Amino acid sequence: MNHVTFEKGEVIFREGSYGETMFEITGGKVGIYAGYGTDGERMLATLGVGETFGEMGLIEFWPRSATAVALEGDTAADELDADELKAYLQTQPEKTLSIMRQLSARLRETDERYQEACKTVYEAIEAEAMGKRRSKSLRSRLSSMVRRFRRDER
């Protein structure tokens, strides 16, 4: 296991790159972005001490789904490769549960947003197909989704 530090704004890994390591934050904060450096850039999450990132690429041997960037100077993390991860989890089984909880929370949040977006879009399409004006509650939900999306971009 390597202990690594990053300066504010330093890219830790890029979306689309293949990951051979994961990280557990020991100091500072890390931003997880989709479309980093493009007009469509969106911050997906801000992670802090004790949280992990990069585990999906390491576990699946699949390209990274997002870009990780240090948000503070002297952001620090323990970096583990696949072999180190196995040994780490065998000697510290509580970390397995911690990583599973983090992945589960991220998946649950994504599921909830996806379901809400699908329902709202479906209702908008149905209202349009029936020639109805969008109701105040539907307009309100659409506006709320847009505001949340814009807030997440920051």
The pLDDT tens digits for 40-88 are 899 999 999 999 999 888 888 889 999 999 999 999 999 999 888 888 8
Residue 14, token pair as written in the block: 């890029």
Determine the topology of domain 2-91 in CATH.
Jelly Rolls (2.60.120)
For the chain, the structural domain boundaries read 2-91, 108-153
Rounded percentage of the chain residues whose pLDDT exceeds 70: 86
Please report which helix (H) or strand (E) contains residue 55, including its range: helix 55-60
Pairing between β-strand 75-81 and β-strand 67-70 as defined by DSSP bridges: unpaired
